[in-house]
Amino acid sequence: MNKRKKIRISITIPLLLVVGIVGGNLYMTKQTHNQRVAEMANTLRYEGFETEIVKKLKEKYPDIKKIKFDDTAKNDKTGFYWSTFHITADWTENQPESEGYSQTDYTSIQAIQTNRYAMDLSESMYKYKGTGKTETLVLVVYSNGKSKEI
């Protein structure tokens, strides 16, 4: 090999390594950023779902004081979202605070708004379905830890 070829190779190889390392690092940084953006979008989407669930529960049940969401997630295979939450309400005189556990399956916010969702309620809650609606503000603790009165 002549001297010129050796110099080209000795310059090209390190240059390719540097470009590969910098490019790979930029690619990984972008992927991490996209993943964080997707997680934040899911969190906001879940908050929207949880807010709609609270609105529907307020229409169907009286005297709800607090709703705490334990978890909201999406089943990627079926496309359904689900939530688990606890409801605290003043439903009996002897027991001022009763707690019910529920799970809801839905496909979109519109499905919740038009009552196209399934809700598994605890037996204690079925007694109070349709007996009035909650007029006061309800403290909502979202699955991401934020809280708000609705």
Give pLDDT tens digits for 79-91.
888 898 888 887 7
Q: Where are the alpha helices (DSSP H) in the chain?
A: 3-60, 109-113, 123-126
Q: Read off the pLDDT of residues 115-131 as tens digits, 9 standing for 90 and up.
A: 888 888 777 777 777 77
Question: 146 with 47: CB under 8 angstroms?
Answer: yes
Length of the chain: 150
Average pLDDT over residues 141-145: 90
Pairing, β 64-74 against β 139-141: parallel
Average pLDDT over residues 5-14: 86
State the greatest distance between any 2 C-alpha atoms of the chain, in Å, as a whole number.
98
pTM of the predicted protein model: 0.71
Write down the pLDDT at residue 15.
86
- The two structure tokens encoding residue 67: 């709703």
Q: Read off the pLDDT of residues 24-37 as tens digits, 9 standing for 90 and up.
A: 888 888 888 778 87
Write down the pLDDT at residue 51.
93
pLDDT above 90 for 140: yes
